[in-house]
């Protein structure tokens, strides 16, 4: 009969390699068993190493406390295996400690997300929980009454004599197994031990925290950017309506595929203005998109929302720059304001008013754990705009296309297929745009309003009906963008050179007549021709997530926890199916560029600084170090 810790470790191994088998099967490589073996060997090797270390302890310290200690280690490995297997099935990538760090740091933000996904997977969750509870009871019993280590020392030596050659043989075999080009990226994502990486990340993370105590990045505060105001009379200034669309990938729109009937309104607006067909995001996360769009500078490439931490002085951005010209500004969204301390961010950017789902005080408008019926914010938004005379800057953020992809009752019967449900939310977002345009027309503001519409990030559905942003495929980082200004922008223009969310602020300001040549933006005027090989960096959000840059048709993606760099030729491989592994010295050059970009983006906050503010008549905002929270006061 195997020892308790051995059984726990073997069960943990079965969970891990079983989840990897599911993902390999979904990928449908030429030889499934060979591909599975390649990604599973690292976990088998780690299990063998841990069992070997246990044998060494048995040899030197064959006591009850050692028996308890090794069982505890096995239980920790088993718990991580459950979490990692669930994460792999849900997202297609292995679990990273940075994911759990974000959840534990902001539990009230992420608990509804976790619970929603668990409810949708009850057929997997319930047996897993039952198994975990049974194992917990059994392990608790064995901790109280540990199985004595009674084997002779020669037995442990024999086990080691067998285990070591097996480990060496498996490591050699891993290098001999074939790896098709179409499976190369998946092999890198799955072909390592998440348990080993978790331990290494904890050690490396603490070292990095000690080394990176400060940042040289300069954050521009209100009044610090050098811009020249337009020469025309202020009375001629147009209104600006900026619509940021939640999770709308360029590939999901009628702009990309005219045969796809998802966004007829967006296509019509493009025909009446300018569309930018090659726009990418710096970070595939909404809060980071807010910062990029509104400030024209790179957000903090860290798995938090430091941009929302109450600043000693407000940051310079579109609201403050437009205020120099007499513009009022407001932000409206049907998502929860408590999520990632949104009121803190918009207060930092000196919006005159910000309104969220809580302001509506009508639960019937809620959709899912985070979103709401976007049509319900049109009336209060335009009521605010009409309240005073003079030009206004109105920003609207949609929410319906966020998972779990629910549309309001009466719009359309919900689809069974997850991707089709997503496309329904894209259609609803387009319907929202149509209603915004109708409201502008009804109020007589249509001809005197710059309408700017773009996506915050995209989303990928490559894993059957799953979705995610963990791997920065083109459908994740490429978004639609259009600008319409009747009588001032030639209708039907198409801009095909590389553009970025960072370009929105300088483009709108240039369009208004501001001179921003000395403003120090990271972005540029997207209406002016750009170098076709312009370098555009991008990143996923979580710690150790993949990041890279695009130059022309070449796309580099770096996986930090594997220290592996891939290159795609988007011209010959638009589906990103055949990754090329980049070796030194080219790898060193590219990775240095990527790491420098990430490091230069960092915000620095004193770790013990505490702030508290009351903003927008209803919101208490708190912060401690890099963390921030917001609470609604009715």
For 384-438, how does the pLDDT look when each residue is reduced to its tens digit (9 = 90+)? 999 998 999 999 999 999 988 999 988 988 888 889 999 999 999 999 999 999 9
- Spell out the alpha helix ranges (H) of 148-192: 153-176, 184-190
- Give me the residue label for tokens 């579109």: 318
Binned at pLDDT 50, 70 and 90, residue 205 comes out as low
| Residue 61: per-residue pLDDT | 84
Residues 6+ apart with CB under 8 A from 394: 239, 240, 241, 242, 329, 330, 332, 381, 384, 385
Q: What is the C-alpha separation between 339 and 368, in angstroms, rounded?
A: 13
Last residue of one domain, picked from the residues 470, 501, 520: 520
d(CA 69, CA 253): 56
CATH of the domain at 463: 3.40.720.10
pLDDT of residue 498: 98
* Distance of alpha carbon 289 from alpha carbon 265, whole angstroms: 23
- The answer, yes or no, to whether residue 593 has pLDDT greater than 80, is yes
**Mean pLDDT, residues 192-212 taken together:** 68
Question: Do residues 187 and 264 both lie within one domain?
Answer: no
CA distance 315 to 183: 45
Q: Which of 603, 622, 610 is nearest to 213 (CA)?
A: 603
User: For the chain, how many structural domains are there in total?
Assistant: 2
* Residue 447 banded pLDDT, cuts 50, 70, 90: very high
Q: Which helix (H) or strand (E) holds 253?
A: none
Quote the distance between the C-alpha of residue 256 and its chain's center.
Answer: 23
Least confident residue range of 48-52, 455-459, 560-564, 605-609: 605-609
The whole-angstrom separation of Cα 504 and Cα 455 is 12
Count other Cβ atoms within 10 Å, centred on residue 117.
Answer: 16
Residue 483 lies in a domain: yes
Domain that holds residue 411: 234-520
Do residues 194 and 113 share a domain? yes
pLDDT at 50: 92
Is 188 in the same domain as 276? no
**In the block, which residue shows the tokens 């997977």?**
121
How far is it, in rounded angstroms, from Cα 31 to Cα 25? 10
Identify whether residues 106 and 56 lie together within a single domain. Answer: yes
The answer to the question of residue 597 being in a domain is: no
pLDDT confidence of residue 608: 63
Same domain, 177 and 29: yes
Neighbours of 111 (CB within 10 A): 12
Do residues 614 and 631 touch, judged by C-beta distance below 8 A?
Answer: no
Domain membership of residue 224 (yes or no) is no
478-490 pLDDT, tens digit per residue, is 999 999 999 999 9
| Residue located via tokens 């059994």 | 138
* 481-484 and 274-276 beta bridge pairing: antiparallel
What is the side-by-side strand order in the sheet with 279-280? 478-479, 279-280, 499-500
The answer on pLDDT for 557 being more than 70 is: yes
Reported confidence tier of residue 209, pLDDT bands at 50, 70, 90: very low
Quick one: 327 and 442 in the same domain? yes
Asked whether residue 213 carries a pLDDT value surpassing 50, the answer given is: no
Q: What is the DSSP string of 520-555?
A: --SS--TTS---TT-EEEEE-SSTT--EEEEETTEE
Instruction: Give pLDDT, residue 35.
Output: 85
Contacts of 378 (CB under 8 A, 6+ apart): 432, 435, 436, 439
What pLDDT does residue 497 have? 97
Domain limit, last residue, from 520, 541, 557: 520
Greater confidence (130 vs 501) lies with: 501
| Strands of 610-615's sheet in order across | 610-615, 619-624, 627-632
- Examine residue 633 and state whether it is found in any structural domain, yes or no: no
| CA triple 341-343-347, angle to 5 deg | 125
Strands 239-245 and 449-455: parallel
Residue 174 sits in the same domain as residue 297: no
Taking only the tens place, the pLDDT of each residue in 25-71 is 887 788 888 888 888 999 999 999 999 898 898 888 888 888 889 99
Instruction: Please name the helix (run of DSSP H) or strand (run of DSSP E) that holds residue 211, with its range, or none.
Output: helix 194-211
pLDDT(210) > 50: no
Contact (CB, 8 A) for 192 and 44: no
């319907």: which residue's tokens?
431
Tokens of 57: 């302890």
Nearest to 527 by CA among 491, 563, 492, 499: 499
- Do the domain assignments include residue 545? no
Is the residue at 614 inside a domain? no
One domain, residues 156 and 254: no
> Residue 177: inside a domain, yes or no?
yes
CA dist 262 to 203, 251, 360, 462, 508, Å?
47, 11, 28, 19, 27
DSSP H helical segments within 251-356, as ranges? 264-272, 286-295, 318-323, 342-348
Q: Span 323-329, mean pLDDT?
A: 96
pLDDT band at 149 (very low <50, low <70, confident <90, very high): confident
- Residue 456 is predicted with a pLDDT of 97
The answer on 199 and 239 residing in a single domain is no
Separation between Cα atoms, residue 462 and residue 129, nearest integer Å: 28
Is a pLDDT exceeding 70 seen at residue 567? yes
256 found inside a domain: yes
**CA 520 – CA 96 distance, rounded (Å):** 35
Number of C-beta neighbours around residue 234 at 10 A? 12
Task: Give the end of a domain, one of 489, 520, 551.
Answer: 520
Tell me how far CA of residue 270 lies from CA of 266, 347, 480, 486, 491, in angstroms. 6, 32, 10, 12, 8
Residues in the chain: 634
pLDDT of residue 508: 98
Are residues 12 and 129 both part of a single domain? yes
All residues at 6 or more sequence positions from 77 whose CB lies less than 8 Å from its CB, including other chains: 8, 9, 12, 50, 195
Q: What is the mean pLDDT of the chain?
A: 89
CB 422 within 8 A of CB 400: no
- For residues 178, 180, 184, 190, the Cα torsion angle rounded to the nearest 10 degrees is -60
Q: What is the pLDDT of residues 333-374, one digit of tens each?
A: 999 999 999 999 999 999 999 999 999 999 999 998 889 999
pLDDT at 369: 86
Q: Which residues lie below 8 Å from residue 4, measured CB to CB, with a gap of 6+?
A: 71, 74, 138, 139, 142, 146, 147
Phi, psi of 248 (to 5 degrees): -100, 105
Q: Above 90 in pLDDT, residue 164?
A: no
Same domain, 187 and 276: no
Q: Do 127 and 265 have their domain in common?
A: no
Q: Indicate if the pLDDT at residue 540 is higher than 70.
A: yes
Reduced to 3 states, what is the DSSP secondary structure of residue 240? strand
Query: In this structure, what token pair is assigned to residue 427?
Result: 């259609």
């Amino acid at each position: 009969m195997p020892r308790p810790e051995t059984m726990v470790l073997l069960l943990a191994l079965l969970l891990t390699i079983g989840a990897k088998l599911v993902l390999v099967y979904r990928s449908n490589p030429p030889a499934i068993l060979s591909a599975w073996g390649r990604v599973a060997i690292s976990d088998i090797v780690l299990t063998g190493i841990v069992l070997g270390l246990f044998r060494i302890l048995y040899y030197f310290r064959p006591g009850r406390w050692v028996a308890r200690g090794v069982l505890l280690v096995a239980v920790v490995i088993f718990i991580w295996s459950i979490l990692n297997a669930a994460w792999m099935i849900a997202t297609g990538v292995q679990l990273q400690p940075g994911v759990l760090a974000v959840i534990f740091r902001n539990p009230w933000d992420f608990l509804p997300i976790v619970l929603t996904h668990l409810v949708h997977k009850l057929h997997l969750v319930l047996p897993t929980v039952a198994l975990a509870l049974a194992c917990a009871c059994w392990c608790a019993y064995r901790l109280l009454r540990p199985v004595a280590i009674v084997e002779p020392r020669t037995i442990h030596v024999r086990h080691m004599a067998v285990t070591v050659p097996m480990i060496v043989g498996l490591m050699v075999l891993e290098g001999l197994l074939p790896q098709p080009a179409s499976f190369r990226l998946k092999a890198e994502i799955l072909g390592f031990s998440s348990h080993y990486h978790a331990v290494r990340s904890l050690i490396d993370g603490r070292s990095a925290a000690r080394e990176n105590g400060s940042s040289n990045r300069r954050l521009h505060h209100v009044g610090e950017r050098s811009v020249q105001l337009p020469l025309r009379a202020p009375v001629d200034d147009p209104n600006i309506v900026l619509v940021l669309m939640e999770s709308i990938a360029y590939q999901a729109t009628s702009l990309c595929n005219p045969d796809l009937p998802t966004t007829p309104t967006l296509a019509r607006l493009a025909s009446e203005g300018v569309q930018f067909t090659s726009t990418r995001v710096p970070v595939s996360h909404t809060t980071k998109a807010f910062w990029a769009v509104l400030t024209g500078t790179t957000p903090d490439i860290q798995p938090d929302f430091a941009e929302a931490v109450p600043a000693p002085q407000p940051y310079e951005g579109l609201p403050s720059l437009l205020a120099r010209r007499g513009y009022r500004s407001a932000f409206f969204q049907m998502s929860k304001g408590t999520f990632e301390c949104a009121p803190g961010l918009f207060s930092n950017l000196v919006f005159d008013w910000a309104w969220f789902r809580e302001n509506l005080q009508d639960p019937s408008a809620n959709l899912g754990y985070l979103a709401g019926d976007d049509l319900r914010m049109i009336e209060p938004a335009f009521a605010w705009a009409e309240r005073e005379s003079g030009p206004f800057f109105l920003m609207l953020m949609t929410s319906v296309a966020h998972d779990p992809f629910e549309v309001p009752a009466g719009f359309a019967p919900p689809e069974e297929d997850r991707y089709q449900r997503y496309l329904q939310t894209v259609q609803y977002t387009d319907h929202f745009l149509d209603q915004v345009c109708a409201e502008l027309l009804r109020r007589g503001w249509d001809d005197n309003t710059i309408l700017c519409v773009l996506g915050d990030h995209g989303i990928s559905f490559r894993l059957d009906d799953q979705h995610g942003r963990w791997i920065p495929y083109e459908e994740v980082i490429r978004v639609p963008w259009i600008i319409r200004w009747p009588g001032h922008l030639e209708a039907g223009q198409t801009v095909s050179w590389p553009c970025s969310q960072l370009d929105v602020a300088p483009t709108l300001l240039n369009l208004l007549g501001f001179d921003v040549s000395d403003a120090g933006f990271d972005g540029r005027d997207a209406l002016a021709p750009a170098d076709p090989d312009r370098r555009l960096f991008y990143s996923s959000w979580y710690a150790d997530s993949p990041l890279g840059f695009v130059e022309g048709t070449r796309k580099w993606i770096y996986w930090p926890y594997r220290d592996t760099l891939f290159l795609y030729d988007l011209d010959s491989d638009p589906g990103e199916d055949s990754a090329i592994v980049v070796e030194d010295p080219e790898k060193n050059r590219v990775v240095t560029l990527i790491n420098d970009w990430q490091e230069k983006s960092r915000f620095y906050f004193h770790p013990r600084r505490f702030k508290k503010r009351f903003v927008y008549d209803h919101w208490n905002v708190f912060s401690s170090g890099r963390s921030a929270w917001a609470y609604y006061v009715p």
